[in-house]
Structure 1
Amino acid sequence: MDLIKFIDVSYTMTSGAPILSDINLTISKGKITTIIGPNGAGKTTLLKLMLGLAKPSSGKIHHLAKVRVGYVPQKLKLNPLLPVTVERFLQLASPLGNKILAEKINRVLHDVGACHLKQRWMRELSGGETQRILLVRALMQDPDLLVLDEPAQGVDIMGQADLYQLIARLRDQIGCGIVLVSHDLHLVMAASDNVICLNQHVCCSGSPSDVQSHPSYAQLFGTRAEAASLAIYTHHHTHHHDIPCTQGHDHD
């Protein structure tokens, strides 16, 4: 099922500077689509168009009716003095009643292996822990489409591998479409069904192996693209997914 379809979409700034030109792409349910490209490639603008935060200068964007979108930003800016726990942060993201909301928070925290973070202060979380909580917040919208903008910023290399494995598992579990936007190469590529290489236009697209062997990909990213290893995804981790959250206080 197609969730979003771009047909000959271009975007030009009011100054006349072209940002994107002739973009054709399809985001499908149940698939992980990764959009990669160097700084200045137009990835942020493409996201804004996808989320309806900007309108194309030309072309058409078709959205599936009533599509629900969960969005995970690059980073979270919170006042470090703000006394907000993870649980309270998640409560503020939903209009549900207390009992239903508590059950949902517990369920989604469990799904991402983050029950142990429930009573932690948001300001004390590491980069990887914060990204997991932002992911929980997005999943609480029961999204048809999950959009993650540079989700691994501030996360160490093994944490990145865990995060992308988690995203792939959630796709299988929920069946939503997922869009990953990044300039990271090998880690995101390994988690993708479809890759779109962007540099103000679509340079190439297809499966990860197709894109990695395309001359445009090598031209943009050079030898480090060819050397990228996907083996990091073969390892296994224990995230305590079998331990349910409780509505009481969890212990670290």
Structure 2
Amino acid sequence: MIRAENLFFSYTGSPPYVLRGLNLEIHRGEYVSVVGENGCGKSTLMKLILRFLKPTSGSIEAHAGRIGYVPQRSDFSNSGFPITVAEMLNSYRRLLKVKDRGAAARCLERVGMAAFSRALMGTLSGGQTQKVLIARALIGNPDLLILDEPSTGVDIGSQREIYSFLKAINRKNGITVVSVEHNLEAAVANSTLIYHLTGGRGHLCSPRQYAGEFMRKNRVEG
């Protein structure tokens, strides 16, 4: 579904490169958590998959009918922004040219936020906002869902609910999930694969392999 070959990227178009010689292949139906230190290029890789950015050289392709995207931050979380949950989702539905007027309500129900359809976005908690953004990303029935640090600013209880939901739509509905993660416990617990980025390159491994590497590193550093 996603393939990158000898991918180089620099925001200036010349060295130093954020990503250099990166190769990656993600198959349909996987749940892949992208991990690595701050500044290693995780969010940049997501923007390349989404075609928000173009490679400096090499290639990256995503073969998906529709891609849903959940950003790390949202302007709608501003308490002064006068838009309701339903208005925000329906605006996005129209942008996607989805004619089904019930799509927004059904997506809210899927994430357990149907009761908040008339609430102003700025009055929601971090966890509630993230659930609404996931609902928005599900409009149009994407077969690929990309998330950028979905647990940032979210309480522990909401984190559990969000990761349980993501795991369910991946396992039961076959939606491919690619998530940038700083929550390593969640990455290991929910993913089918971990993609560890370091030095502008990355490698895929199983959650068990990554947990073993991470624990060994902590023992050595400790």
Please state if 1:4 is matched with 2:23.
no
Q: Distance in 2 between matches of 1:182 and 1:133?
A: 19
- Gap change, CA 1:92 and 1:195, over 3 Å in 2: same
Q: Distance in 2 between matches of 1:48 and 1:188?
A: 20
- Structure 1 counterpart of 2:191: 192
- Structure 1 counterpart of 2:68: 70
In the TM superposition, residue 171 of structure 1 has moved relative to its aligned partner by: 1.7
- Tell me which structure has the larger Cα radius of gyration: 1
- Structure 1 counterpart of 2:171: 172
- Structure 1 counterpart of 2:21: 22
Q: Distance in 2 between matches of 1:12 and 1:106?
A: 41
TM-score (norm 1): 0.79
- Aligned CA RMSD, in angstroms, stands at 2.4
TM-score (norm 2): 0.89
SS at match of 1:146: strand
Paired residues for 1:1-252 under 5 Å: 3-14=1-12, 16-64=15-63, 67-78=65-76, 79-95=78-94, 100-101=100-101, 103-214=102-213, 218-219=216-217, 222-223=218-219
- Gap change, CA 1:205 and 1:214, over 3 Å in 2: farther
The percent identity for this pair of structures is 34
| Counterpart contact for 1:83–1:121, Cα < 8 Å | yes
Which whole-Å deviations, capped at 9, do the CAs of 1:142-169 have from their partners, x for residues lacking one?
A: 1121000011110012221221111111
In the TM superposition, residue 44 of structure 1 has moved relative to its aligned partner by: 1.5
Q: Distance in 2 between matches of 1:205 and 1:119?
A: 42
Large movers: runs of 4+ above 3 Å: 200-204
| Counterpart contact for 1:204–1:214, Cα < 8 Å | no
Unaligned runs of 5+ in 2: none
Q: Distance in 2 between matches of 1:43 and 1:162?
A: 24
